[in-house]
Copies of this chain bind each other. A is one copy, B any other.
Amino acid sequence: MNTYLACFPCFVRQAYDAARFATDDKTIHERVLRDVLHTAATMDMHLTPPEMGQFIHKRIRELTGNADPYHEVKKRFNRLALDFYPNLQRRIHSHADPLAMAVRLAIAGNIIDFGPRCDIPVETVRDSIDSALTASIDMNALVSLRSEINSAKTILFLGDNAGEIVFDKLLLEILPCEKISYVVKGAPIINDATMDDAVEVGLTDLVEVIDNGADVPGTILPQCSEAFRARFETADLVIAKGQGNYESLSDVDINIVFLLKAKCPVIAEHLHCPVGSMVIAGTRNNP
């Protein structure tokens, strides 16, 4: 997905919010803002939005000297999600269609995204879970996903954020894990999950976890490691969580299913759905 003009006001707001999240130093806030304004003024619209996200957060890390400003917040949301975990696990296992319930919850967990906004109250996560239980989802896409999962020999599951990774674990627990590899980011970027988070929430005990070698809030293939790209290209099915993965992979010709909450108007329009929708969207074999 290209960058849209509507993304630019959001880039600048995100840069300002993220700079204030990372430091109280106003000279750094100004430096980040001016660098982002300057870069956006000449940005190639064929780049995907996560590339601007990468630039913003790289500048913040450089200027603050803090390699991982979201370290604490990632731990906090992992703990919060682990608090929810036993209850959600019971819900899934007692449900008539555990896969449907687990997919709903995996999408609900995608609310824990510090890209669009830097203040996610616990209540918002709770509301996202509650609404996921009854919100409308594309049942045809779910049926198709089920069949894809059954027929695939190798599945790559691209994770998104810390905290959200616990919701993915709930889904993975009812999937054939022996043929699945779960992918985290290669280095800290916003609150995206890295190997630390996968270990912390016990995902590494359940499934093979690999990293993609990149620090992009999405999956920009040329920036990923060769090892990851080889796995990506040969997987029978890719399941990709979140907006960043959708933005960076929606034009890639591969068998892929996106699971996400459409949190921004540009993505909602791209997906022809209202903002806030729970999305199961495929590009090739799925509708």
Residues of A within 8 A of B (CB): 5-6, 8-9, 12-13, 16, 26, 29-30, 33-34, 37-38, 40-42, 45
Query: Please, which residue of chain B has its CB at the minimum distance from the CB of A16?
Result: B9
List the 3 shortest-distance A-B pairs measured between CB atoms, nearest first.
A9-B13, A37-B41, A38-B41
Apart from A9-B12, A37-B38, 5 more pairs, CB < 8 Å: A5-B30, A8-B37, A34-B42, A38-B38, A38-B42
B8/A16 in contact, CB under 8 A: yes
A33/B8 in contact, CB under 8 A: yes
12 CB-based A-B contacts, threshold 8 Å: A5-B16, A5-B26, A8-B12, A8-B33, A8-B37, A9-B9, A9-B13, A9-B16, A13-B13, A34-B41, A38-B41, A38-B42
Oligomer: number of copies: 2
- Residue among A26, A41, A42 with the most chain B CB within 10 A? A41
Contact of A33 among B5, B26, B29 (CB under 8 A): B5
Q: How far is the CB of A19 from chain B (nearest CB, A)?
A: 9
B12/A6 in contact, CB under 8 A: no
CA distance A29 to B5 in the complex (A): 8
| Chain B residues with CB below 8 A from A16, complex form | 5-6, 8-9
Q: How far is the CB of A15 from chain B (nearest CB, A)?
A: 8
Query: Please, which residue of chain B has its CB at the minimum distance from the CB of A30?
Result: B5
